[in-house]
Amino acid sequence: MLNRRGALAAFVTGVLGSLAARKAEAAVEQSKSAPADPTEIITLWPNGAPGGEGVTVEERIIDRTTPGGPRDRALTHTRKPTLAVFRPKKPNGAAVMLIPGGGYERVVLDKEGYETARRLNESGYTCFVLFYRMPGDGWAAGGDAPLQDAQRAIRLVRSKAAAMGFSPDRVAIMGFSAGGHLAANLTVRFDAPTYDSVDAADQLSAKPSLSALIYPVISLDLSIAHGGSRKQLLARDGSPDREAVLSPDKQVREGLSPVFLLHAADDKTVPVANSLTMFTALKAKAVPTELHVFEEGGHGFGLRFTPDKPVAAWPSLFEAFAKRHGV
């Protein structure tokens, strides 16, 4: 009996080991076939991000890729905010700063970052993927820590315009989910004084030429808010005044740059009411805006979950809107 049990245990161990080995081999082969990661990286803060004295979290990349599936990685607890650069073969004279989502707990690398950058490269856009800090990680600025990064990042992008072949007056931003909140926050609060000047780049405008908000978190009102993002943004100060400041729909004013909005009606993670609320606020202040609501698509579809669905048209819709507004 003991021998049989031992043999069975050995067999099971061997099978599990074989399966693990196959999964590892599949992951290696998949990584070989995946496009190379960008090697051109811009560090946002040469002397370290502001207000980090009380930060103890450790930055790391989590790989959630499944064998046979597309790459799926995320950066958690950003300590060193950066921009990953994607240069097109034929520049069209415009740039897009991409702000991936992640519920303000992480920043998605592939789905809403690198994949979208490569797609926009095909249309001639010079792209920059922003890896920003999390508001709940102990930074002194709290909910404004990501905004500090976004303001600094777009100014740095503009400072690179001449060298990279695009116009500083044609710099758009595109944010997804929680990244859509950050993009919306930058759109309405681009001129908020959130940090002390670091260098000459900080003399440039942080106002985006155009904003694209893709299934964005907008309102922090409990009735439609994304609970995780709301919790992180208000971790240091949950007062009604602070909630209003960090709800972009409540900060809309005249003279903002054009805004493109995209959402799926069946989004169960971030209700479509977020985009509807933002659209209504923009229209009330005569800000040029366009809203596309698709029947299906769910949340976080990016580019990879759109085949055979009408929502697959969204990149072309964005490009048409951008071109009409000179970006």
The predicted-structure confidence for 196-239, as pLDDT tens digits, reads as follows: 999 999 999 999 999 999 999 999 998 999 988 989 898 888 89
Looking at the fold, whether 230 and 97 belong to one and the same domain comes out as yes
> What pTM, to 2 d.p., does this model score?
0.89
Looking at the fold, whether 84 and 4 belong to one and the same domain comes out as no
Looking at the fold, whether 285 and 206 belong to one and the same domain comes out as yes
Residue 216 CB partners (closer than 8 Å, separation 6+): 175, 176, 177, 179, 180, 181, 183, 184, 261, 263, 270, 274, 275, 278
Distance of CA 94 to the CA centre of its chain: 19
Looking at the fold, whether 255 and 296 belong to one and the same domain comes out as yes
Please check the confidence at residue 2 and state whether its pLDDT lies above 60: no
Give the C-alpha separation, 81 to 89, whole Å: 26
* Containing structural domain, residue 21: 1-33
Q: State the average pLDDT for the chain.
A: 91
Please check the confidence at residue 240 and state whether its pLDDT lies above 60: yes
Give the C-alpha separation, 173 to 76, whole Å: 22
Looking at the fold, whether 133 and 1 belong to one and the same domain comes out as no
Which range is least confidently modeled, 157-171, 227-241, 307-321? Answer: 227-241
Give the C-alpha separation, 77 to 58, whole Å: 6
Please check the confidence at residue 293 and state whether its pLDDT lies above 90: yes
Looking at the fold, whether 236 and 320 belong to one and the same domain comes out as yes
- Percentage above 90 pLDDT, the chain: 81
Could you tell me if 269 and 228 are in contact, meaning their C-beta atoms sit under 8 angstroms apart?
Answer: no
Average pLDDT for 255-275: 97
Please check the confidence at residue 30 and state whether its pLDDT lies above 50: no
Tokens of 215: 């299934």
Looking at the fold, whether 213 and 245 belong to one and the same domain comes out as yes
Looking at the fold, whether 235 and 89 belong to one and the same domain comes out as yes
Number of domains into which the chain is organized: 2
Looking at the fold, whether 56 and 23 belong to one and the same domain comes out as no
Average pLDDT for 240-248: 94
pLDDT at 118: 97
Average pLDDT for 48-55: 94
106-120 per-position pLDDT tens digit: 999 999 999 999 999
Could you tell me if 173 and 129 are in contact, meaning their C-beta atoms sit under 8 angstroms apart?
Answer: no
Where residue 11 falls among pLDDT bands split at 50, 70, 90? Answer: very low
66-83 per-position pLDDT tens digit: 998 899 999 999 999 999
pLDDT at 208: 98
Which is more confidently placed, 233 or 21?
A: 233
pLDDT at 18: 52
Average pLDDT for 1-20: 49
Tokens of 191: 């001129």
Looking at the fold, whether 60 and 11 belong to one and the same domain comes out as no
Looking at the fold, whether 254 and 212 belong to one and the same domain comes out as yes
Please check the confidence at residue 4 and state whether its pLDDT lies above 60: no
Which is more confidently placed, 33 or 298?
A: 298
Looking at the fold, whether 4 and 69 belong to one and the same domain comes out as no
- Percentage above 70 pLDDT, the chain: 90
Tokens of 216: 């964005």
Report the CATH number at residue 317.
3.40.50.1820
Between the CA of residue 123 and those of 118, 187, 207, 246, 320, what are the distances in Å? 9, 24, 23, 33, 11
